[in-house]
Amino acid sequence: MLLMARAAHRRSMPRHRNRYPPRSILWPSLTRLGRIRRVFATVFSTIEDDMTVAQSSSKKNRKPVLAIVAVVIIIVIGVFVYIEFGGNSGPSQVIASLDTIQWVKEIPGNTVTKDGNQVSVVTDDSMVSYQIEALPKLPAGTVTVRYRIQLTNGSIMVGILSADRQKWLANSEINTPGVNDKTMTVNLPSEGTLVIANNRPEKGQSSFEIEKMDFLK
């Protein structure tokens, strides 16, 4: 009788208990991927919790519970993949960089010198005036400009002009001596032009070196 009772007890146990592999099987392959490991730990914890609920539920309610668990798992993994590989990817295509950009003087009284991997500029002594223009022009659409400029003296403005050169579509002032790393992102309705201008409260020269300049689309 005891053996028959044990056999009946085994038959009454849920047959899907071991359908999911234990975490120890997957864990070694995830040891170098800390963030992914934490996501999978959360997923498996959710599975275990909800499987407990499913096992304690009647057969009639078990399938809806498992369906909800599956949806939650898919959502968690989907959000993680989007954040890690899609949401933060940003612009990927470099359309121009410092070694391919041509700098055109906008005014005759300044000095522009290309020295290795940087461009050195000494402006004229005007208060506010365009000094250099970058070619190629920026295409229509969402464009990101990333740059590193070391300001030695004075104050300058880095900006993107509209196609008719009548207004700034984006601009950023640099008036702190030293290295300045900045990023501008703008949605251009048509072609735009990146220019660097002298931007002083009184007449005087500014000097700076462009150490990095990338246009990304």
Percent of the chain with pLDDT over 70: 63
pLDDT at residue number 161: 96
Element (H, E) at 190: none
Query: Using CA atoms, how far apart are residues 71 and 197, in angstroms rounded to an integer?
Result: 55
Residue 187 has, within 13 A of its CA and on its CB side, a CA count of: 0
State the average pLDDT over residues 2-15. 47
pLDDT band with cut points at 50, 70 and 90 for residue 83: low
Three-state secondary-structure class, residue 167: coil
Place of tokens 């940003």: 90
- Range with the lowest mean pLDDT among 28-42, 152-166, 188-202? 28-42
Q: Are 127 and 198 in contact (CB under 8 A)?
A: yes
Query: Using CA atoms, how far apart are residues 7 and 16, in angstroms rounded to an integer?
Result: 17
pLDDT at residue number 42: 67
Three-state secondary-structure class, residue 101: coil
- pTM for this structure? 0.60
Interval 85-100: pLDDT, tens: 555 445 579 999 999 9
pLDDT band with cut points at 50, 70 and 90 for residue 169: very high
State the average pLDDT over residues 64-91. 67
State the average pLDDT over residues 63-75. 74
- Select the more confidently predicted residue: 18 or 152: 152
Name the average pLDDT for the chain. 79
Q: Are 143 and 188 in contact (CB under 8 A)?
A: yes
90: left (phi over 0), alpha (psi -120 to 50) or beta: left
Place of tokens 């995830």: 30
With 70 as the cut, is the pLDDT of residue 143 above it?
yes
Start-to-end Cα distance in the chain: 77
